[in-house]
Homo-oligomer: A and B are copies of this chain.
Amino acid sequence: MQLILASASPRRRQILEMMGLSPEVRPAAGDESIPEGVAPDGVVRILSGRKAGEVASSAPSDAVVIAADTVVVLDGRILGKPKSEGEAADMLRALSGREHRVLTGLTVIGRGAEVCVCEEALVRFRELTDGEIARYIATGEPMDKAGAYGIQGRGGVFVSGITGDFYNVMGLPLCRLGLILRGMGVELI
């Protein structure tokens, strides 16, 4: 099976490699504009579907294309990648001591089928001090991450617990992906 990952995320590639797969990485150019008034779960489904469709249109017909889009949602509002260190600090203060949602839209195209789902996980942060927030930002880790933290990095120490699939929080809901691929006749194990 030729597996194509329509994402530049090294974390998504690592999850597939952990399963013994060797995906070809073809990041979508990606129109990231969102129709007005769409809820976060719709946003991630739309964005993942667009990425998968774009890459599938030029992929071999027997390939399986996987695309995903992950967002952090607090109080119904999507937290994207911070545009400045000040915005990163605002996000981390907002997440401190609270539970937020991580939504991943996952689209798989192949074997004559297209499946698009949204998978949710809940992530609980312990209380953060101003000193921790400042030192964490100084590591540089928050700046390219939605919600200004990485659970698979130093930010993991802030997470008291999750409810859901850890790999979803990393950006690729592995259990769900396995079931979708099985539906296409591809077994991950």
Residues of A in contact with B (beta carbons under 8 Å apart): 15, 18-20, 121, 126, 131-132, 135-136, 139, 151-154, 156-167, 169, 174-175, 177-179, 187-189
Contacts and interface: CB of A to CB of B under 8 A. Distances in A.
A102 B20 CA distance: 25
B18 A189 contact: no
Contacts of A175: 126, 156-161
Contacts of A18: 152-154, 156
Given A159-B165, A187-B132, A19 B174 contact: no
A147 to B, nearest CB: 16
Given A136-B189, A189-B132, A163 B163 contact: yes
Given A161-B165, A187-B132, A156 B139 contact: no
B157 A174 contact: yes
A165 B154 contact: no
